[in-house]
Amino acid sequence: MLSVQQLLDGQPAPRVVTIPSAPGPVPAATDRQVIVRSVTEQLVSEANAVLRGHGDVISLEDEVGPGGLSFTLGYRDRSARVQAAMSGRTALVRLVIDGKAGDESRQLSGQDEVQALLLSLIEG
């Protein structure tokens, strides 16, 4: 991923664009979570190919259980968790960075924001 090398060369990471989370149907939230997770896996693989030569790499851990799907990205002492919490027929997708969800639940504005999220973790 060229943007990782550019970041390591001193270019700043783009700002991660988020939107407020709102409860929605479980199938829509599940579909969104699977798409974002798939894009994330591809980008983590590409980023780690560059990072491996510089030391630390990005980790990607999945968690599936009753009431939710989530994955966590980790880099050094920083983390970001993308979670789809389900209850009955509704689900809420939210982003938690370094263990803090903030006052208002927020989510990535789209799958294109995964790259900005990865770069922001690396930048610190």
* Distance from C-alpha of 75 to C-alpha of 81, rounded to nearest angstrom: 12
CA 47 and chain centroid, separation: 13
| Mean pLDDT, all residues of the chain | 93
Q: What are the pLDDT digits (tens) for 75-120?
A: 999 999 999 999 999 999 999 998 877 778 999 998 889 999 999 9
Q: Please, what sign has the CA dihedral across residues 113, 58, 51, 55?
A: positive
Confidence of residue 1 (pLDDT cuts 50, 70, 90): confident
Q: What are the pLDDT digits (tens) for 10-61?
A: 999 999 999 999 999 999 999 999 999 999 999 999 999 999 999 999 999 9
- Map out the domains of the chain as residue ranges: 2-123
